[in-house]
Amino acid sequence: MNKLFFAILFSVLAGTAMAQVSQPSALQRPNLPTDSLSYLNPKDYIIGGLTVSGAKYLDKDILIQVSKLNKGDKITLPGDASSNVIRNLWQQGLFDDVKLNITKINLDTIYLDIAVQERPRLSRLHILGIRKGEVEDVQKKLNDKTGKIVNENLLNTTTAIIKKHFNEKGFLNTTVDIKQRKDPGDESSVILDVTVNKHQKVKINDVIFEGNKEFSTATLRKYLPKTRKRKFYNIFGSRKFKEDQYEEDKQTLIEKMAAKGYRDAEIISDSVWKHDDNTVNVKIKVYEGPKYYFGKINWSGNAKYSTAILSKILRVQKGDVFSEEQLNKRLSGPTPNSDDVSSLYLNDGYLTYQADPVQTKIYNDTVDLDIRIYEGPQYRINRVIVKGNDVTNDKVVMREIRTKPGQYFSKDLVIRSTREISQLGNFDEQKIDPKPTNINPNDGTVDIIYNVVEKPSDQIELSGGFGGGQLVGTLGLTFNNFSLRNIFNLKAYRPLPKGDGQKLSLRGQANGKNYQNYSFTFSDPWFGGKKPIYFGLTAYTQLSSTGQYYAKTDPRYNYLRINGIGVTLGKRLNWPDNYFQLNYSLNFDHYKLDNYTGYLFSNGTSYNIKLTQELSRNSLDVPIYPTSGSNIKFTVQVTPPYSLFNNTNYKIATPEERYRFVEYHKWKFDAQWFTRITGKLVVMSQVRFGFLGYYNKDVGQSPFERFKVGGDGMQTYQFLQGSEIIGLRGYKNFSIVPVGSNYNADTNPGSPIYNKYTLEIRHPIIASQSATIFVLGFAEGGNVWNNFSQFNPFNIRRSAGVGARIFLPIFGLLGLDYGYGFDSIPGIPDANKGQFHFSIAQSLSGGFN
């Protein structure tokens, strides 16, 4: 009876065990011959040989190592050893099935085969649910997954990478659904269909602080520049919650609190929790601690400069609020005016200067310091090297560099040299990298390498415009790095000879025979190649006529031909400082009019011989997107006073006689200032003024060289020569006319007096070698007058608006603005209110002219 009971019990248990083994997810037992092995009577064997079957891609020797079986080892079968073999291999996540089979038994020697069925490999990812550009970004991060075995680890890491990618962009609720399907081109591979749902960006509902007593919540929120609620006035702020930016902001918060004297400040705890489906709340508990102040400040190690001088530059007194940030900035810079202690040493050759402020005593709320100075030797410059200028010749860059061999090393001169290189316009301003190298303390010498990256500097203008009932096409070519000396060297053409920093510009406008304009400009900033003498040559010709349609006797006939040539010479000045430039220009213009309106006379020939002196100072840090510095110009232009010696009676002279030789004196002032507010946010302010005077009241105002104000400021084809175009956004072109005049935008001959004020807030979107894009908001105002008795600089036509600028090296500057003019213009009802303005090839620093 007992034997029968145990036999039945064994049969039930064995059947249950075999049923469990047969499940796909369970470990497979070895395939053992029933006539030689008994689970009730295990035997010991010596492994005589091991083989692996079913492996296509995996190394069989490595699989045997993973199994932990070796030839010659003793193994008990049936037993735990066989189950462990399968478990070890299964845990690798590489197989859909693993078996241990007996291939042969010879007495006490056994031969085993590890039979595996490899999991499929990934042939490609098919990402769905997001835009093409986003798919490309994600694919770049998942390229290394192709060809790998598809297991839980691969699926989990793929999901994690995609979620992290979009979490960093503020999509914290991103979901990823992955489905597998057979690759029809490869039976052993699968395709993963990955469906991504970003959902909406998770934004910040509120930022809450606890524990703050001395700091207001509003102040602490300002210390979290990237983790904040967006306000209507914070145009460029962000409400998106990003984990990495949040971590950076927490560090910034502590640094800002410490800068106010709270050196013990810390974050005790913080939490982020879901407010609703698309927003989170942030809560930060802070410990402020006591407020500290500077105590005694002792200097040691300074031999070159006295303690009095160093203390004066440090500008820290006993009793000032303790701030390590401010202390380190005044010791090691950078400061806006280079008025820190490090600049004092680095500008005098002490390249290895160091300052170590040691807090020697902390008592109550006071911190005593010992500032330990290491001066080191003075270093002179041994060599100056330029690298990366593949197109621009060495001499063009070297002549702009202020650090010369034999001089003491100077940080200010290195900074100034970097600015001058960027002003050439041939290199990426963001990648100009000066580096001291080969610092030799034995002989006190150092080399300086200026690393530069060439950028496209030539520009092409190809555009069409419609105005005056005509379609006008424009083609302009500007070569900003031209080489005149290689003009006959055919091997130097790329497509024209380059590398000498000269400028050649060719421009043509036409709509057929009715209107044509062609101009040529050449300039060389180092005329002769030895000194910074500026030379410029310009010539142009313009024709506007209806002669192809009407006979001369027809009232609709008109004709205007303008020819001009000019030469400019200038030099850089060292006084009042070396940012000044003085230029002199001599120009000759010839006008021939036949029944042509728009000037003070419509028939005759006129000559305009003018001498111009321009004194300018340009200290802008970079030419493309200035963030600091100024650009100021004062210009005086005069003609000979013909009426004083030509014996013409101007009281009875005809217009043809009065304006045959144009006489006037012209005064202009233009000043721009750029100031960085915070981060990359920049304010540009500008003041402009112009006055056209005359020598003889009987002659009166000149018909040319007047000011036309209003619109986009572009030199449109109707008035390309003869008048100066001043933009005023929010108003139609040339619509600003003096009070009481009956001119309109088409008949406006220009005014002798104008002024204009501009305030712009700029912020870059992209700043790279390939493009610079920034947006702006502006407010400006301006007006014109016929004489000084009417002049009132505060009586202006006001406007405001927004705009964007795109700078592409090959095309120059493209601009689009929307301005709203607040003041109506009498007699021109559609002159103001909402106006769109488009510009091309304008000045980046000056905006619209």
d(CA 156, CA 432): 43
Could you tell me the two tokens for 678?
A: 């915070």
Could you tell me the two tokens for 12?
A: 């039930």
Could you tell me the two tokens for 115?
A: 């039979």
Q: So what's the pLDDT on residue 490?
A: 87
Q: So what's the pLDDT on residue 6?
A: 40
> Does pLDDT of 719 surpass 50?
no
Segment 391-403, tens digit of pLDDT: 999 999 999 999 9
Q: Are 447 and 381 in contact (CB under 8 A)?
A: yes
User: For tokens 């009876």, what's the residue?
Assistant: 1
User: For tokens 């290895």, what's the residue?
Assistant: 352
Instruction: Tell me the pLDDT band of 39, cut-offs 50, 70 and 90.
Output: low
Q: So what's the pLDDT on residue 470?
A: 64
> Does pLDDT of 841 surpass 90?
no
Q: How many residues in total does the chain contain?
A: 849
d(CA 109, CA 71): 10
Could you tell me the two tokens for 516?
A: 């044509």
416: helix, strand or coil: helix
Q: What are phi and psi of 220, to 5 degrees?
A: -65, -35
The enclosing H or E element of 171 equals: none
The enclosing H or E element of 332 equals: helix 324-332
d(CA 811, CA 188): 53
Percentage of the chain beyond pLDDT 70 is 91
CATH 3.10.20.310 fits 121-197, yes or no: yes
Distance of CA 392 to the CA centre of its chain: 23
d(CA 785, CA 752): 7
Distance of CA 185 to the CA centre of its chain: 45
Q: So what's the pLDDT on residue 342?
A: 95
Q: So what's the pLDDT on residue 491?
A: 85
Q: What are phi and psi of 377, to 5 degrees?
A: -80, 165
* Architecture of the domain spanning 380-451: Roll (3.10)
d(CA 454, CA 389): 6
Instruction: Tell me the pLDDT band of 167, cut-offs 50, 70 and 90.
Output: confident
> Does pLDDT of 350 surpass 90?
yes
What are the start-end ranges of the H helices in 179-276?
217-222, 243-259
- DSSP assignment letter at 471: E
Residue 645: how many other CB atoms lie within 10 Å = 8
Q: Are 524 and 534 in contact (CB under 8 A)?
A: yes
> Does pLDDT of 824 surpass 60?
yes
Question: Rounded mean pLDDT of 263-269?
Answer: 96
If one compares 412 and 76, the residue with the highest pLDDT of the two is 412
If one compares 847 and 549, the residue with the highest pLDDT of the two is 549
Lowest mean pLDDT among 80-94, 240-254, 571-585: 80-94
Question: Rounded mean pLDDT of 224-248?
Answer: 73
> What is the CATH class of 293-374?
alpha beta
- What single letter denotes the amino acid at residue 276? D
> Does pLDDT of 17 surpass 60?
no
Distance of CA 85 to the CA centre of its chain: 59
Q: What is the DSSP string of 220-246?
A: HHHT-TTSS---TT-TT---B--HHHH
Instruction: Tell me the pLDDT band of 466, cut-offs 50, 70 and 90.
Output: low
Q: So what's the pLDDT on residue 49?
A: 84
Distance of CA 555 to the CA centre of its chain: 56
d(CA 24, CA 804): 63
628: helix, strand or coil: coil
Q: Are 252 and 225 in contact (CB under 8 A)?
A: yes
Fold of 17-118: Ubiquitin-like (UB roll) (3.10.20)
In the chain, where does the domain assigned CATH 2.40.160.50 lie? 662-849
Q: Are 356 and 384 in contact (CB under 8 A)?
A: no
Segment 750-789, tens digit of pLDDT: 899 999 999 999 999 988 777 899 999 999 999 999 999 9
Segment 560-606, tens digit of pLDDT: 999 999 999 999 999 999 999 999 999 999 999 999 887 778 899 99
If one compares 287 and 20, the residue with the highest pLDDT of the two is 287
Long-range Cβ contacts of 147-152 (<8 Å, 24+ apart)? 147/121, 147/122, 147/123, 148/121, 148/122, 149/93, 149/94, 149/118, 149/119, 149/120, 149/121, 149/122, 150/119, 150/120, 150/121, 150/122, 150/180, 150/190, 150/192, 151/93, 151/94, 151/119, 152/93
Q: So what's the pLDDT on residue 749?
A: 80
Residue 197: how many other CB atoms lie within 10 Å = 14
Segment 114-152, tens digit of pLDDT: 887 777 888 888 899 999 888 888 888 888 888 788 888
Distance spanning both ends of the chain, measured CA to CA? 114
Q: Are 632 and 663 in contact (CB under 8 A)?
A: no
Q: So what's the pLDDT on residue 23?
A: 34
Q: Are 331 and 342 in contact (CB under 8 A)?
A: yes
Q: What is the CATH number of domain 662-849?
A: 2.40.160.50
d(CA 203, CA 218): 19
The whole-chain average pLDDT of the chain stands at 86
Q: Are 542 and 560 in contact (CB under 8 A)?
A: yes
Long-range Cβ contacts of 313-321 (<8 Å, 24+ apart)? 313/339, 313/340, 313/341, 313/344, 314/341, 314/371, 318/293, 318/294, 319/293, 319/294, 320/293, 320/294, 321/260, 321/261, 321/291, 321/292, 321/293, 321/294
Going by their DSSP bridges, the two strands 203-210 and 186-197 should be labelled as unpaired
Which of these, 355, 382, 380, 379, lies nearest to 369 by C-alpha position? 355
Cα torsion 347, 348, 352, 358 to 10°: value is -80
Could you tell me the two tokens for 334?
A: 């950078």
d(CA 294, CA 315): 12
For the chain, the C-alpha Rg in angstroms (whole number) is 40
In the chain, where does the domain assigned CATH 3.10.20.310 lie? 17-118, 121-197, 203-287, 293-374, 380-451
Residue 453: how many other CB atoms lie within 10 Å = 17
Instruction: Tell me the pLDDT band of 20, cut-offs 50, 70 and 90.
Output: very low
d(CA 591, CA 275): 73
Residue 172: how many other CB atoms lie within 10 Å = 23
d(CA 809, CA 768): 11
d(CA 632, CA 670): 6
Q: What is the CATH number of domain 203-287?
A: 3.10.20.310
If one compares 165 and 685, the residue with the highest pLDDT of the two is 685
d(CA 506, CA 521): 7
Q: So what's the pLDDT on residue 53?
A: 83
Segment 656-678, tens digit of pLDDT: 999 999 999 999 999 999 999 98
If one compares 51 and 288, the residue with the highest pLDDT of the two is 288
Q: What are phi and psi of 619, to 5 degrees?
A: -120, 25
Percentage of the chain beyond pLDDT 90 is 55
818: helix, strand or coil: strand
Residue 126: how many other CB atoms lie within 10 Å = 12
Q: So what's the pLDDT on residue 244?
A: 84
Instruction: Tell me the pLDDT band of 729, cut-offs 50, 70 and 90.
Output: very high
Segment 313-340, tens digit of pLDDT: 999 999 999 999 999 999 998 887 888 9
Beta partners for 445?
Answer: 380, 440
Query: Interior CA angle at 114 toward 112 and 118, to 5°?
Result: 170
Buried b (16+ CB within 10 A) or exposed e, 484-509: eebeeeeeeeeebbbbbbbbbbebeb
Cα torsion 693, 696, 698, 699 to 10°: value is -60
- What single letter denotes the amino acid at residue 746? D
Q: What is the DSSP string of 66-81?
A: HHT--TT-EEEESSHH
Buried b (16+ CB within 10 A) or exposed e, 51-88: ebebbeebeeeebbebbebeeeeebebbeebbbebbeb
Question: Rounded mean pLDDT of 437-441?
Answer: 95
The enclosing H or E element of 3 equals: helix 2-21
d(CA 704, CA 714): 18
Q: So what's the pLDDT on residue 842?
A: 53
Q: Are 599 and 576 in contact (CB under 8 A)?
A: no
Strand ordering across the sheet containing 175-183: 121-128, 186-197, 175-183
Which of these, 65, 64, 74, 78, lies nearest to 21 by C-alpha position? 78
The enclosing H or E element of 306 equals: none
588: helix, strand or coil: strand
